[in-house]
Copies of this chain bind each other. A is one copy, B any other.
Amino acid sequence: MSNMSDILIFGAGGMVGQKLVNRIRTDGIAGDNGHTLTLHDIAFPASGQNIGRQVVGDITDAGQIRSLVAERPAIIFNLASIVSGEAEENFPKGWDINMFSMWHLLQAIRDEHLASSGSYSPRLVFTSSIAVFGGPYPDAIDDEFLAAPQTSYGAQKLTCETLLSDFSRKGYVDGISLRLPTICVRPGKPNKAASGFFSGIIREPLNGQTAILPVEDTVRHWHASPRSAAGFLTHAATLDTALLNNRRALNLPGLSCTVAEQIEALRDIAGQDAVSRIAYIPNPDIQKIVAGWPRNFNPERSLALGFRAENSFREIIETYIAEDFNKADGITM
């Protein structure tokens, strides 16, 4: 009852969304390049990957979500979200965009499921986040560690995971939640995310600009490149979800390193001149937020399921240089 070649992507105009679209264009999904794409977002970058039908709209528009789901795409990606900083500043907006849009999407899918006498149950890949976790942490977070979010963004992501899991258990949808590491190096301009400096201290120096480091260089964090993020998403699109054993939220592979190790990798690749462009200007607000973030994981399940990320921060920088350096991508999400 579904159109097996159709893919619907919410949040397709964002940085990760554009990486995903590009990945599907070049590699397909599980070797299949015959997909028809519908891309939804509030805006799209002018220079972006515009290979599908673009639908401009607001993710909180339940009627529009419903009409797109009524086309019964076989695979739906939900990447639409405001970032942590904005969700913290604007509490109602955060819950509305980051949680209720998922509720409306799941309602629309359930209605199509029921209207199809149960034959329509699309794959839904949701971008959750390691922000679902809150300290104190063990040395490395394992697959059975509790989720205790300490930001509204994290609470909203956890709520979406819980909804998606229950709608999946009932058979209305076939969902999987991917707890993305912090994506680094983000191309384009800084966004409102408190994690922005992890990318900024690499991207700005490589582009001859000054970057502000607001935390001490002993801070340890969990990273994966935009290329890995796209790979996580396409891998999840055809994964056998029976292997998830009803635990549909996955901690993903990533790279754990300190800011000092990031800076050393930058020095190896671009020299002391680049490193000299990093200005340490302590910001107590950001330090407090970052102190609550996960530092390391032991993601046995996702590794066993075939998800892969980088093995060194040098590799992460090289990915940025190969994919995004000196590109006028116009992405400012």
Q: Which residues of A contact B (CB under 8 A)?
A: 91, 134, 143-150, 152, 155, 158-159, 162-163, 165-166, 169-170, 246-247
Contact = CB atoms under 8 A, between A and B. Distances in A.
A145 B144 CA distance: 6
Determine how many copies of this chain the complex contains.
2
Contacts of A166: 149, 152, 155
A196 to B, nearest CB: 22
A285 to B, nearest CB: 16
A165 B169 contact: no
B149 A162 contact: yes
8 smallest CB-CB distances across A and B, nearest first, come from: A155-B166, A148-B247, A144-B146, A155-B162, A159-B162, A158-B162, A146-B146, A152-B166
A88 B91 CA distance: 31
Contacts of A144: 145-146
A165 B155 contact: yes
A158 B160 CA distance: 11
Contacts of A169: 150, 152
11 contacts: A91-B170, A143-B146, A144-B145, A145-B146, A146-B146, A148-B246, A149-B162, A150-B169, A155-B165, A158-B162, A159-B162
A7 B152 CA distance: 28
A158 B145 CA distance: 15
A90 to B, nearest CB: 12
Contacts of A159: 159, 162-163
A246 B145 contact: no
A165 B148 CA distance: 9
Contacts of A146: 143-147, 247
Contacts of A150: 169, 246
Nearest to A169: B150
A170 B162 CA distance: 22
Given A150-B246, A169-B150, A247-B134, A155 B145 contact: no
B147 A147 contact: yes
A295 to B, nearest CB: 16
A149 B163 CA distance: 10
A159 B158 CA distance: 8
A129 to B, nearest CB: 14
B134 A152 contact: no
Contact of A162 (B91, B145, B162): B162
A308 to B, nearest CB: 23
Given A143-B146, A158-B162, 19 more contacts: A91-B170, A134-B247, A144-B145, A144-B146, A145-B146, A146-B147, A147-B147, A148-B165, A148-B246, A148-B247, A149-B166, A150-B169, A152-B166, A152-B170, A155-B162, A155-B163, A155-B166, A159-B163, A162-B162
